[in-house]
Amino acid sequence: MNRYTSHVYTKFENLKPQQLIDDAQLVKTDMVNYPKVHIAPKSGLLNDPNGLVYYNELYHIFYQACPNGPFHGMKSWNLVTTKDFLTYEDHGIVLNVTEEYENFGIFSGGAIIVDSKLCLLYTANYRDPNNEYKRKAYQVLATLDENYNVVSKRIIREPDETLHTEHFRDPVAIDDFNVLIGLQDVNNQGQLAVMGYSQKDYLGDSKLSFIKNSWNLDSFMFECPNLFKLEDKNILVFSPQGVEAQDKYTFNNIHDVVYSISDKFFIEEMMWDNPIIKQLDHGFDFYAPQVFNDGERTLMIGWQGVPDTIYPGDEQYRWSQMLTTMRELTLVNGNLLQKPIDEYQQLETNWISFEREVKLESKVFKLKFSASEEFELVIGNDSYNIRLVRQGNEISLDRSKCQYLVNEKYGNVRYVNVEEDNCELEIIVDMSSIEIFINEGKYVMTSRFFIDSLTTLKLSGSDTSQFSYLKAIKYKEG
């Protein structure tokens, strides 16, 4: 069967409403994996976070969605909004396929405010049914009204096969005149570039300029770029695809996320002056993050998954993937630190100090502990577990003894080297998700893990340890 003529590419407007209702009811029966404190789809697939923006006193979180099933197909953008990251309003699909140049879906991008109106930058995915479904990528600006209806769409850049292949996507605004984008060049190498315009709001003549760098990354595509400032430094975050593992510490997933810091970056020169690349997350499941500023903080949320992966329960419960927690970013001594935002503290219940063991009553909790020497954390039951262990300066996360295994050909253990003798850890466990923040988020390990029941938490080697169950975030329908 030709995938491009199959049900996975059914337009949103042609989906059967009753099927979506039935799938959403089925999702509600998942008491094993569906998260309580993370954003996840009502049904179908959740993919990259998109269009993050603080606008009209609300946080707007768009994400790629295929609501008709747990698979990658006809992508649209779903929207949730929140004032406090505790209660959310789900507005459903807001940006979907309406034009011929986006006939096979709407890919990732960012948001920008133009004349007090919310506008979305995105990649339109066109495939030519008369030419073996060959792809072309158009960059588009959509304008929304106050009720999140799309009132206009405008192509701001057409594909240029002399500069890049069909892989040309994920635009985000740098300012009123420039847009950062990821691509694969004509030599099939990953690149970052800037689309520069002669007039505000991406009007007039445009020029595509590649960012010159010395990273020496052997990647076939750079996805989901971000460019922002912290402490007067320029920071690039992006997702290079196809980089081979260099050792057991770096590039061991299907694809990973990296960052680089520059003292100076000028649009006119397009030169990135730092050859150093650092991995942003050291776990199994973290990809395509997006960064934005709410006026006071620099925030980031990512996709808690990786491409080309089917997770346990996807088909059974008709949903797939989730977002990470929202994280505040800071820059300390040349390291990009990430910590869960303070608002999540309101989800905490009673903090309990403990020694060595906790009998678990829920799969949704936060754990904090400090350790000046080696430690071992085991979460699971009598038959299955996930382990976090420090030996010397190495911390390993081992999910080889989970009930269901994922992406085994990429290994079941992830490692990170820590420079400090003392470790302070904050860990959020949410059904099938674990997010580990070490030393104020200098090192982070984000992962999914699959064990039907968690009955025991065991911790040895800690100096102090505390534990709290977490309340669930709430939703109201838009």
CB 374 within 8 A of CB 390: yes
Supply the pTM of this predicted model.
0.97
Average pLDDT over residues 93-112: 98
Residue 291: which H helix or E strand, with range?
strand 287-293
Query: So which residues are the catalytic ones?
Result: 48
In the chain, pLDDT over 90 holds for what percent of residues? Answer: 97
Kindly tell me if the per-residue pLDDT of 295 is higher than 90. Answer: yes
Residue environment code for 171-182, b if the CB has 16+ CB neighbours within 10 A, otherwise e: bbbbeebbbbbb
How many Å apart are CA 32 and CA 42, to the nearest integer? 16
Strands 278-279 and 287-293: unpaired
Digit-coded pLDDT (tens) for 381-431:
999 999 999 999 999 999 999 999 999 999 999 999 999 999 999 999 999
Kindly tell me if the per-residue pLDDT of 331 is higher than 90. Answer: yes
Q: H-type helices in 157-276, by residue range?
A: none
Reported confidence tier of residue 477, pLDDT bands at 50, 70, 90:
low
Kindly tell me if the per-residue pLDDT of 269 is higher than 90. Answer: no
How many Å apart are CA 123 and CA 157, to the nearest integer? 10
The angle formed by the CA atoms of residues 467, 470 and 473, to the nearest 5 degrees, is 160
Strands 87-95 and 474-477: parallel
Digit-coded pLDDT (tens) for 3-15:
999 999 999 999 9
How many Å apart are CA 356 and CA 232, to the nearest integer? 44
> Which pLDDT score is estimated for 87?
98
Tell me the CA distances in angstroms from 111 to 79, 157, 167, 236, one per residue in order: 12, 16, 21, 17
Residue 86: which H helix or E strand, with range?
none
**Residue written as token pair 């009811």:** 25
Terminal-to-terminal C-alpha distance of the chain = 37
How many Å apart are CA 164 and CA 170, to the nearest integer? 14
Digit-coded pLDDT (tens) for 32-63:
999 999 999 999 999 999 999 999 999 999 99
Residue type, 467: F
